[in-house]
Amino acid sequence: MLWVGAWAAAVVAAGWWRSHLAVEVPAPTVAASVATPNPGVGLAASLQGTRPDGRLHAGDAELVLSAELVRRFDYWLTAHGEKPLAAIRADIQSDLARELNPASSDRGLRLFDAYVAYKSELARLQPEPSGRMDADALGRQLQAIRTLRSRHFAADEVVALFGGSDADDDHALSRLRIAQDPSLTEAARRQRLQQLSAQRSPEQRAAETEPVLHLAVSDAVAEARARGADAAEVRSIRTRMVGADAAERLARVDADQAAWQSRVQVYLALRQSQPAEAATHKSTHFSPTEQLRLGAYE
């Protein structure tokens, strides 16, 4: 059931919680930032040389509600920790005022306050206890998130800001339910998954296939190596699944990794037998960046 495992892992690998990342800000701090918008103290170091994500309007300074607005909020919130939330709010207030008319700017700032309050409360939401990737547990967790979100946004705002990510989450959850349904035969499972994918656009199908294919290739190679497959068989598996060019690139990655591991083992052996010479060997045979990587082995 290789593909089932790949799909279960891909739900997370593709970013199941990408739209639910929490901002751990105590509620009083959030309230204070809303009431007293301190002036910004300069662009955060992590944002220097970057441009804000997310398009806010269609060229007329009128705010367009979409996931792009959430992207803009998240762009500024990446500076949380470098700057106080009040300063980030002031940055966003200035940012919105530069691009939008006054009424739209005010509405955007109100939505930002709601977004921060939602994220702050989300940080305190208890995850469903589950020892595995369980569709029922994930479904309950997703419903809890949506219930929480409805307390901070109007219904039309939820659809505009989060509708796309909700549809992706629902689709991923449906796939996981099919993968974990013990009543389905292998053929029936594949048919149900194909029918589900047929409901998606070509762009959506490509986006969902990429992480799954990557995991499927990794699992197939791991299984082959576990039964003693040589490099030629591994290359054949990869060529069949992702094409000759990608298989060649992966083979080079394998070779580089094998060479690295060999060098590491020589160094570790020398470190055990001749500690005095190991330091010299390390400085002459490993670059400064590689020496940092060696720390994980030491």
**122, 141, 174: which is the final residue of a domain?**
122
**What is the rounded end-to-end Cα distance, in angstroms, of the chain?**
38
User: What pLDDT does 217 receive?
Assistant: 81
User: What pLDDT does 146 receive?
Assistant: 95
User: What pLDDT does 123 receive?
Assistant: 84
List, as one string, the DSSP characters of 113-136.
HHHHHHHHHHTTPPPPP-SS--HH
Domain assignment present for residue 66? The answer is yes
User: What pLDDT does 127 receive?
Assistant: 72
User: What pLDDT does 67 receive?
Assistant: 93
pTM of the model: 0.61
d(CA 209, CA 14) in angstroms, rounded, equals 10
What is the domain extent for residue 63? 27-122
Residue 183, token pair as written in the block = 């009543």
User: What pLDDT does 11 receive?
Assistant: 46
Residue 210, token pair as written in the block = 């990429």
Domain assignment present for residue 228? The answer is no
**122, 140, 157: which is the final residue of a domain?**
122
d(CA 168, CA 161) in angstroms, rounded, equals 13
User: What pLDDT does 211 receive?
Assistant: 64
Q: Per-residue confidence of the chain (298 residues) as pLDDT tens digits?
A: 334 444 444 444 444 444 455 555 433 333 333 333 333 447 777 788 888 888 999 888 999 999 999 999 999 998 888 888 999 999 999 999 999 999 999 999 999 999 999 999 988 887 766 545 678 888 888 999 999 999 999 999 999 999 988 988 898 889 888 888 899 998 898 899 889 888 888 777 766 666 666 777 888 888 889 999 998 999 988 888 777 887 888 888 888 888 888 999 999 999 999 888 888 888 888 887 788 778 777 6
Domain assignment present for residue 70? The answer is yes
Domain assignment present for residue 170? The answer is no
**89, 122, 155: which is the final residue of a domain?**
122
User: What pLDDT does 292 receive?
Assistant: 76
Domain assignment present for residue 214? The answer is no
d(CA 91, CA 234) in angstroms, rounded, equals 52
Write out the E strands in 80-221.
Answer: none
Domain count, the chain: 2
Domain assignment present for residue 150? The answer is no
Domain assignment present for residue 275? The answer is yes
User: What pLDDT does 296 receive?
Assistant: 76
User: What pLDDT does 193 receive?
Assistant: 85
Domain assignment present for residue 273? The answer is yes
